[in-house]
Structure 1
Amino acid sequence: MSHCPYCGTRTHDKELYCIYCGEELPADLYKRIHPNSNKFNRWWLLPMVVLILSIISLGTTYFIMEQKTATAQAKFRSGEQVALKGNYSKAKDYFEAAESLTHQFPAASHNKQFMTIALDVQSKIDKARTQTYNQRYKTSLETLTAAEELLKNYNGEVVRNLLEEIVSLRNNTKIDQLEETMEDKPSIEELKNILWQAESIPTDAAKQIVKQIREQIVAYAFSNANERLKQKQYSNARSFVEEGLRYAPNSEKLQSLKTTIEKEKTAFETAQQNRIEQAINAAEKESEKNQTDAVKVTSLEATLNEFGDLIVKGKIKSVATVPINSVSLSYILVNDSGENVLSNEVYSFPDTLYPGETGNIEFTHYDVKNSLDVKVDKVKWFLE
């Protein structure tokens, strides 16, 4: 028990205030009364400090991890961007940096591994491009196939970019290979095989090759069919035309000749040959003026094409008053000395000419490689 310094009343040792006057007891008196009070408070302060330090430590660690994760994601996005631009080496560095910042970033690890494959694919593409430039077409195509094989288990925009580059280079390589083959002037059978190859390549250059080959096939089929038709070998003539139409189904020239062949064959089988012979005999006895009573030759010339073959082209016009068909033109090729080199007969297309209509004459001499002049010998036609 102690005395209150204010009222002198005895107080209990455990009281902080006087129970009689209500005044707060002095601090030194309280400390005297409770000498162990400070020690008691310090024991509660220690766990509080430890708790605060733990919270700060955990917060700092979380903040650092968040910063590393954000940095890793930024590196990852940068890697994706440069990869789309084709800079696979730099993209690989970004993915490696992203992977090193965090131990749980499987996408960065996967992309880093794929960049190694992309670099290998790009190396093969560059190698194939050099091989194509050096005209090693077969080796180049094999290299591109190997590059494509590396990508078969992957997908995505980068893969699509690489595959597009492979396909583009493969098409260009095939075109270069076909153009080199065309320079060697392949046979008609070889041209047919080249045609299928060119048609499988979806480029403008390939379409040009297809057009060029079809023109040669049509010219070959027409010339041979026309020759068989003159010899009245109708089945053989039709076979040449149908084979040509197989590769050039829209050829008006061959379709017209096919119609001519059928009509000639029908006329032969139905005993109309006598009327044709009479018309031919009558035409042979007439003068040059009488020969142009039904048909007028408006143009006829012989020129060498790019392959060195002599092409005879011309136009005829019907001046008859009724439809005529099976019009044929006989011409003679002469040299600079005026000597006859050879003669030929070719049917015009379309088969039937109505009054005032114009027909076309065309024939390719594959065995003639020099320039010659052409002159009209005679014109024959059939009147319905």
Structure 2
Amino acid sequence: MSCHNCGSTNIHEGARFCPFCGTRLKNEINRKHLIKYISLPVASFVIVTFLVVLGYKHEENVNAQVVDQQRKAEELALSGRYEEALSLLEAAKKDRTDYSVLKKEMDHIEFAQDISEQINDVNDHIKNTEFEEARTQIKTISKQLQGENTVLLSPLKANFQESSTNVTVGEIKKEINTLNSIDLLSDKLKSIAYLDNVEAAKVENQIVTRMVELSTKQAEDKLSRNHFNEASYIIEEALQYAVNNEKLISLKEKIEQERESFLVAERVRIEKAISAAKKEEEKNKNKAVEVKKLNVKLDDFGDAYIEGEVINNGTRDINSVVVEFIIKDKQGKEIEKGKTNIFPNTLHPNETGKLKHIVYGVKKDIKMEIRNMNWYLSEKEGSPDE
């Protein structure tokens, strides 16, 4: 050891003052001993610090992993994959058993899963038209959702609202399916004013669809019987509610086309009917009566008995048929000229009348020639078009 003041050496290690100059010696420790003295605690500090940092980093990584799993679980739950979300949180709980947020998150997901299943039950009831059961469950869900505002419930609340709307729509649809007139359906349309915009739009669509269906059926029925005005009126009334409906517009065009075709056909039919009526009338006036039989018998006294039949080939009754005739012998010499009445006085269509005449004292074979026939037509019943 040496004195830092006078430079003297070989001073005793434990001396506090220099024996040569009396200066207080500095309490220096041999560097080698100093290094030995301080190296162990420093090394211990460094190791401990490293371990602490390493542990912190590990915990930090675990925390980050747990937070990431929690985030992914929430995303899964928001998409409706509840079982996957719960499995992910169960795995995260093993790393953080004391992390109460995970337990709370799991409770939220299980609650959301239960609500989702109940909404599915409501939708099943709607499909089966079990609206009373659906309405009861809607009330139960509504009570459960009161005061619950977690993020996980946001999509479920939208689904719940839609299902609730569908119950209302289903109930009204079930009722409107029993209504069979546009007036009743329009009254029902006015009665939905209490619904909100979404519900009203759905119900209005159902009512208008029913109007289109009903009016189309009724108009087609009228059209099949050529009641064009009635069919057209039905379609026009429906178009007031189903504006620009393609089906109704198409049927309206069909009605007008068939009306025009019918009118053309009707004109042709009437023209043909008039022509046929004229021909028929001509026949009734000029060719209705035809001689079917004409026999002449000569008795022992030389008298000739003439008998015959005439038929009404017309389409109307005829009256007072008179036959003009000439009696000749075999050589063509005229013996008698005259008229005779056919009986009965009135002949219906396709009915035959009798002709009888006697020529006295001819004493030879004769023949009767019909020169002309006259008759009257009975008055027609009804109008000429019938």
User: TM-score, normalised on structure 1?
Assistant: 0.42
User: TM-score, normalised on structure 2?
Assistant: 0.42
Q: Which is bigger in relative contact order (C-alpha 8 A, separation at least 6)? A: 1
